[in-house]
Amino acid sequence: MEKMLALLLGFSFLTGCQSMRPQTLGELSSGYTYIPVDPFSVQTVPGDSCKKEELHSNFPVEKGFLLDGKPVYREITGSLPDNSVRMLVEQFDSKGNVSYGAGKVGGKAESYRVTVDYINADTVNQEFWISKTMLTREGKRVEVPLAELPSFFRYTSGSEQYRVSRADPGDSGYTKYNVPIYVGVGLRAIADVRVLESKANISGIGVIGAEAEDKRLSGTLIVQTLGVSGKSITGALPVQSELNRTTAQNAIVAVASIKTLLYSSDVGKYPRVVGLYIPFPGGKPLVNALISELSQKRVEWPRPCDWYDETSNKKIL
């Protein structure tokens, strides 16, 4: 049932459903939204369920709980509790600035990147210390509260600069924030498009393919795996890069096929950082600063364990 639900969710976002939620104020301000990132590896560490003392605190001995066994990391798909389909639309202006939002109707000559992720994931809350500065109208760089949208009557638009650290820098100019980091495996479909007509619907991969077929937009299409590999996975991936109705349909079929293969024992699964959630306003400079800091040292992912009897090798917890 869970697999079927995930497939149905994937189809709705690929084809472009008409009941997509409206953009929030935060998303309109380039914040409060899911940001997919190029996948990079994580550092797997034992989760609480791997530690005997944590289990004894949850199941006191006086209530009859005695643990006598060995911990073994849980299978990957069982370690990733959430199935989700996440979509991001990036709009690029002539100066190279990027704004984020949900699916929408694009205008003539506008450029977009539409990314749809289909992931089995876990969420790691990562601490960051962040400082933001902007230029005033008089040309002076000053600190600006990160969680507020500054008045551009006082500050120069596009002058934002961020300093990000995962360790406390001991500087009063920094504020600590928790940023959800998504660790998981799955699939990603990316459409880079340029609108040719007065407007075009870019609310889903399938819709984009149809719009390209009708010459309302042009672009390319990429389907990639996120932490999964194997002969069956390679065979299911489409090889076309041209964006049209046929390649969009092929992408839909490929994603549906590979989604079911995630549960196969002969498919290699290697959890990756696949995205993060921005819980405050901030555009591309902030995203780049966060990703740069994350790439300095691997994110620790606490993986859960199952316990087995040392004699019979049967699962006991």
For position 87, what pLDDT does the model report?
A: 86
Band of pLDDT at residue 91, cut at 50, 70 and 90: confident
- One-letter identity of residue 111: S
Q: Given the DSSP bridges, would you call strands 300-303 and 43-46 parallel, antiparallel or unpaired? A: parallel
Residue found under tokens 């995962």: 166
What pLDDT score does 66 carry? 56
Whether residue 99 is predicted with pLDDT greater than 70 in this model: the reply is: yes
pLDDT per residue over 150-182, tens digit each?
Answer: 677 788 888 889 999 999 999 888 999 999 999
What mean pLDDT is predicted for residues 70-93?
Answer: 88
- Summarize pLDDT for 14-73 with one digit per residue, the tens: 545 433 333 433 344 445 688 999 999 999 999 988 887 766 666 555 544 556 678 889
At 41, give phi and psi (nearest 5°). Answer: -70, 160
Name the packing angle between helices 2-15 and 205-213 (round to 10°): 30
State pLDDT tens for residues 238-249.
Answer: 876 678 888 888
Which pLDDT score is estimated for 180? 95
212 pLDDT higher than 70: yes
Task: Report the percent of the chain where pLDDT is more than 70.
Answer: 79
Question: Residue 129 corresponds to which tokens in the numbers above?
Answer: 């210390």
Average pLDDT of the segment spanning 105-124: 85
Q: DSSP per residue over the chain, as a string?
A: -HHHHHHHHHHHHHHT-S-PPPPPHHHHTTEEEEEEEEEEE-EEEE-GGG-HHHHHHHS-GGGT----SEEEEPPHHHH--EEEEEEEEEEE-TTS-EEEESS-EEETT-EEEEEEEEEEEEEEEEEEEEEEEEEBTTS-EEE--TTS---TTTB-TT--EEEEESS----TT-EEEEEEEEEEEEEEEEEEEEE-SSEEE-SSHHHHHHHHHTTSEEEEEEEEEESEE-HHHHHHS----B-SHHHHHHHHHHHHHHHHHTT-TTSEE--EEEEEEEEEE--HHHHHHHHHHHHHSPPEEEE-EEEE-TTT--B--
Q: Tell me, what's the pLDDT at 145?
A: 85
Token pair 């959630």 is found at 277
pLDDT at position 314, please?
83
pLDDT recorded at residue 173: 86
Confidence of residue 293 (pLDDT cuts 50, 70, 90): very high
Instruction: Kindly state the tokens that stand for 241.
Output: 């890069």
| Per-residue pLDDT band at 10 (split at 50, 70, 90) | very low
- Domain limits, the chain: 2-45+83-294
Does pLDDT of 8 surpass 80? no
Question: What pLDDT score does 274 carry?
Answer: 96
Question: Which pLDDT does position 104 carry in this prediction?
Answer: 62
Does residue 233 surpass a pLDDT of 60? yes
This model's pTM is above 0.85: no
Give the model's pLDDT for residue 158.
Answer: 80
> Does residue 79 surpass a pLDDT of 80?
yes
pLDDT at 32: 67
